[in-house]
Structure 1
Amino acid sequence: MSHQVTVSEAAARPTVVVAATTTWREFPAVWPGLLDEVWGCLRAAGIDRGCRNVMLYLDDVPNVEVGVALDRPGPLTGRVTASALPAGPVATTVHRGSYAGLGAAHQAVADWCAAHDRTPAGPRWEVYGPHHDDPAEVWTEVHWLLHHMG
């Protein structure tokens, strides 16, 4: 699949997340529980839809924040905290199809950065479209924060 990469200026987007330090090998088994914690907190506050799932990778350790984009306040419990997706210049692509292909989308952004002499700042994140049982209907935004030019 070919991924078109665009650059834009992103505003900070409020999120509600559980933060964790993990390994890339462990992450696939860890993130569902983190997301379940966030949704449990939201459901207890009467919020059961309208929030897009997000995964923010702060670095390559990875230190991660898993949760949802949420632009309204709500009571937070347990390990669930308020945070935000970063603001600044971002390189973005949209991946369509199975989540198994997200690595190719990230690689496309990395390749674009190298080809256009843009330096990633470190944080990168995924914003998921609505759930769909048909993988062909699934889409995910992949964003990489860039260093400012000049």
Structure 2
Amino acid sequence: MTYVVEVESVAPKVLAAVRRQVRPGEVPTAFRTALDGVWAFLRGQPGLRDDGHNVFVYHHTADGPDTGLDVDFGVEVTRLFPPQGLVECVETPTGRAARAVHRGGYSGLPEAHAAIHAWCRQHAETVGAWSMEVYGDWDEDEAKIETTVLYALTARTE
């Protein structure tokens, strides 16, 4: 798949989320129990969710992803709320970011991440302190699934 990478200003989203520390390869198995907890919480909170999407926020560390990343596995919600158990109210990071949209099955997401990293190298941009995946609506036809991948870009000094 060919990706178009664009720079945008990312606005905050409010999430109901569970934070886990995972290595990048563990995300496909770690997210399920975290999101199960979030969805169980949301079922008991009428009006807190209104067609929100699943959002994964990756907090980058100076040690790099091999040591593990803190990841907020969350769902967009309509308002702030007090924490309950492992579910926290999280506001997503904001700022200038590189964005690519992946169309297709989730197994292809690493290609979108690689495309953004390649774009950053080609455009002398530096990845910042976070990245995020915003999952679009589910569809049985994988070709109709869209996931937006965003990477914070550090401030340019020109």
Q: Same fold (TM over 0.5)?
A: yes
Looking at structure 2, the residues matched to 76 and 20 of structure 1 have their Cα atoms a distance apart, in angstroms, of 16
Partner in structure 2 of residue 109 of structure 1: 116
Number of residue pairs matched? 150
Give 3-state SS (helix, strand or coil) of 1:32's partner. Answer: helix
- Contact persistence 1:45–1:74 (CA under 8 A): no
Give the C-alpha shift of residue 84 in structure 1: 1.6
- Contact persistence 2:16–2:77 (CA under 8 A): yes
Query: 1:70-89 to 2 correspondence within 5 Å?
Result: 70-74=77-81, 76-89=83-96
Give the C-alpha shift of residue 74 in structure 1: 4.3
TM-score, L = length of structure 2 = 0.89
Partner in structure 2 of residue 51 of structure 1: 52
Give 3-state SS (helix, strand or coil) of 1:55's partner. Answer: strand
TM-score, L = length of structure 1 = 0.93
List runs of 5+ in structure 1 lacking aligned partners: none
RMSD: 1.4
Q: Which runs of 4+ in 1 moved over 6 A?
A: none
Looking at structure 1, the residues matched to 154 and 77 of structure 2 have their Cα atoms a distance apart, in angstroms, of 26
Moved more, 41-50 or 138-147: 41-50
Looking at structure 2, the residues matched to 113 and 25 of structure 1 have their Cα atoms a distance apart, in angstroms, of 22
- Contact persistence 1:45–1:75 (CA under 8 A): no
Give 3-state SS (helix, strand or coil) of 1:109's partner. Answer: helix
- Post-superposition Cα deviations, 1:5-50, rounded to whole Å, max 9, x if no partner, equal 0001112222111001122333321111101111111111125651
